């Protein structure tokens, strides 16, 4: 090995791996912590990895800690010549049980998680260099392989540390008074960004800085339309908006935005039947915004293969290069990968999006797909969320969109709150206009579309024509 050269085997610690196994054999609390934080492939030793898998499997099926007798039964699946070596490893691990308390095990878990990350990065970087060498020799397709590998390790880059602030409210009173009076003199600059949906704004008071909000509904109920409403109204009245799209291509978001700002029926965009008059209307609107409007509507298209870490890094990179947006929208949450099972992916995705809101002090909203059939629920609650227990604690405000008798024909939906901050959680009825890519105001007791009161807002370039 050349001087200074690093190899994958350098990033391993068998003693720490044994400590984790010993802790799992000592009590179930360590097993639970391991299930939450590490996968079997975090172990560099294939034998310890197999033992760990048996421990987890036994605990999940029997709700018991694996003992020596049960382990010997598991060993029957192994060739006879390997059983003795596995038993020797088992017995040497048992000797560590006394010092394998929860604190020691948690330190070992964190250590092997980092070592696994290092092994993955070292192996991937070596592969990238090999592919680039082949590309220089004439194999241009190897550049694509190298780029793909580069994207795969971007999500493994080390997270930034959290910044914790400790304050004494009594001694900080004068600072509070100064800041509060500053906000009172110019409340529009500091208070919540209005959504543009009057009934939501009346209840919520707008979208607050550092707040993470979630819109939940089954497919086709208008989650993306409501996110578009939020970001469009921010762009129209308050400041720059950043719309991060993961499910839809950027071109689809652009079409919906053009529909929203022009008032042209969405079916003309969808069917590619825009007329000369339509293009004239669109061009006038776009030119008005380009020449007279001070804010930007930014669309960031990230592939579905992205991780939550990549998402955070890309948003941070955008903010460094541009003026910080007033609102971040992420459409949508479910398909972000956390590198664990589906339940863990959702938990990580929600946690990091809340971290984005806190870190940048920017209201951040996303959407979650509920696993509820279209006809099952009228009012959707927190219990209907996919893996609700891992989500609800990491959101500040949650909105759900449920069915009414008029949903199918007239696009009238129940709006409920699955979580609130400081306002009364009172639901109401709201109508979508999918032909204009927006939600419009409706009276609570509406029975049909004929009773819906539509209040169109005057925008730059004149009133929107319906």
Give the whole-angstrom CA distance, residue 1 versus residue 287.
Answer: 63
Give the whole-angstrom CA distance, residue 283 versus residue 287.
Answer: 6
> What's this model's pTM, rounded to 2 decimal places?
0.59
SS3 459: strand
Distances from the Cα of 199 to the Cαs of 153, 210, 229, in angstroms? 44, 22, 13
Give the whole-angstrom CA distance, residue 192 versus residue 166.
Answer: 25
Q: Shortest CA distance to 396 belongs to which of 352, 344, 354, 436?
A: 354
Query: Which pLDDT value is given to residue 36?
Result: 78
Query: Which pLDDT value is given to residue 227?
Result: 94
Q: Does residue 426 register a pLDDT over 50?
A: yes
Query: Which pLDDT value is given to residue 22?
Result: 94
Query: Which pLDDT value is given to residue 276?
Result: 94
Q: What are phi and psi of 230, to 5 degrees?
A: -60, -50
Burial 96-121 (b: 16+ CB within 10 A, else e): bbeebbeebbbebbebbeebbbbbbb
Q: Does residue 220 register a pLDDT over 50?
A: yes
Greater pLDDT, 105 or 7: 105
Query: Which pLDDT value is given to residue 16?
Result: 92
Give the whole-angstrom CA distance, residue 363 versus residue 213.
Answer: 8
CA angle (338, 343, 349) in 5-degree steps:
40
Query: Which pLDDT value is given to residue 10?
Result: 76
Span 105-123, pLDDT tens digits:
988 998 998 898 888 888 8
SS3 243: strand
Give the whole-angstrom CA distance, residue 29 versus residue 75.
Answer: 25
Segment among 55-69, 177-191, 207-221, 260-274 with least mean pLDDT: 177-191
First CA to last CA across the chain, in angstroms?
Answer: 73
Q: Shortest CA distance to 256 belongs to which of 394, 435, 134, 421?
A: 435
Token pair recorded at residue 141: 């397709």
SS3 254: helix
Residues 418, 381: contact at Cβ < 8 Å?
yes
Token pair recorded at residue 49: 């990895």
Question: What is the arithmetic mean of pLDDT over 403-431?
Answer: 83
Q: Shortest CA distance to 38 belongs to which of 114, 151, 126?
A: 114
Query: Which pLDDT value is given to residue 14?
Result: 92
Give the whole-angstrom CA distance, residue 119 versus residue 135.
Answer: 24
Count of residues in the chain: 466
Query: Which pLDDT value is given to residue 445?
Result: 41
pLDDT level of residue 282 (50, 70, 90 thresholds): very high
> Which of 1-5, 31-35, 263-267, 328-332 has the highest average model confidence (pLDDT)?
263-267
Span 180-197, pLDDT tens digits:
787 777 766 556 788 988
Span 81-98, pLDDT tens digits:
889 999 999 999 999 988
pLDDT level of residue 158 (50, 70, 90 thresholds): very low
Q: Is the peptide bond before 332 cis (omega within 30 degrees of 0)?
A: yes
Residues 191, 204: contact at Cβ < 8 Å?
no
Query: Which pLDDT value is given to residue 176?
Result: 76
């Amino acid at each position: 090995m050349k001087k200074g050269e690093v190899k994958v085997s350098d990033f391993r610690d068998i003693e720490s791996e044994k400590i984790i196994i010993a802790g799992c054999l000592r009590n179930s609390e360590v097993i639970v912590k391991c299930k939450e934080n590490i996968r079997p492939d975090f172990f560099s030793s294939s034998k310890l990895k197999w033992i760990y898998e048996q421990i987890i499997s036994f605990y999940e099926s029997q709700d018991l800690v694996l003992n020596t007798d049960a382990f010997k039964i598991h060993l029957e699946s192994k060739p006879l010549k390997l059983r003795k070596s596995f038993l020797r490893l088992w017995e040497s691990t048992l000797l560590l049980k006394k010092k394998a308390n929860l604190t020691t095990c948690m330190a070992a878990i964190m250590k092997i998680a980092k070592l696994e990350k290092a092994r993955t990065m070292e192996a991937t970087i070596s592969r990238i260099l090999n592919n680039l060498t082949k590309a220089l020799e004439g194999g241009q397709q190897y550049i694509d392989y190298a780029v793909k590998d580069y994207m795969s390790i971007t999500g493994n880059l080390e997270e930034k540390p959290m910044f914790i602030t400790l304050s004494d409210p009594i001694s900080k009173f004068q600072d509070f008074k100064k800041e509060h009076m500053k906000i009172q003199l110019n409340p529009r600059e500091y208070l919540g960004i209005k959504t543009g949906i009057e009934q939501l704004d009346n209840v919520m008071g707008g979208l607050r800085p550092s707040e993470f909000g979630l819109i939940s509904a089954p497919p086709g109920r208008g989650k993306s339309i409501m996110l578009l409403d939020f970001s469009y109204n921010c762009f129209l009245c308050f400041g720059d908006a950043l719309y991060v799209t993961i499910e839809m291509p950027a071109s689809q978001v652009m079409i919906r935005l053009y529909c929203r700002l022009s008032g042209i029926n969405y079916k003309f965009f969808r069917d590619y039947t825009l007329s000369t008059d339509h293009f004239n209307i669109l061009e006038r609107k776009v030119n008005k915004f380009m020449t007279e409007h001070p804010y930007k509507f930014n669309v960031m298209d990230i592939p579905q293969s992205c991780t939550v870490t990549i998402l955070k890094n890309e948003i941070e990179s955008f903010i460094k290069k541009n003026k910080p947006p007033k609102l971040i929208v992420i459409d949508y949450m479910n398909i972000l990968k956390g590198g664990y099972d589906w339940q863990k992916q959702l938990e990580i995705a929600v946690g990091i999006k809340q971290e984005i809101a806190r870190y940048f002090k920017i209201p951040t909203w996303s959407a979650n797909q509920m696993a509820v059939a279209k006809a099952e629920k009228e009012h959707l609650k927190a219990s209907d969320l996919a893996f609700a227990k891992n989500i609800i604690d990491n959101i500040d405000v949650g909105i759900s969109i449920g069915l009414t008798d008029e949903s199918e024909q007239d696009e009238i939906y129940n709006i409920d709150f699955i979580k609130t901050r400081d306002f009364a959680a009172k639901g109401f009825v709201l109508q979508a206009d999918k032909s204009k890519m927006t939600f419009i105001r409706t009276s609570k007791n509406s029975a049909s579309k004929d009773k819906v009161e539509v209040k169109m807002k005057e925008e730059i370039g004149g009133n929107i024509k319906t």
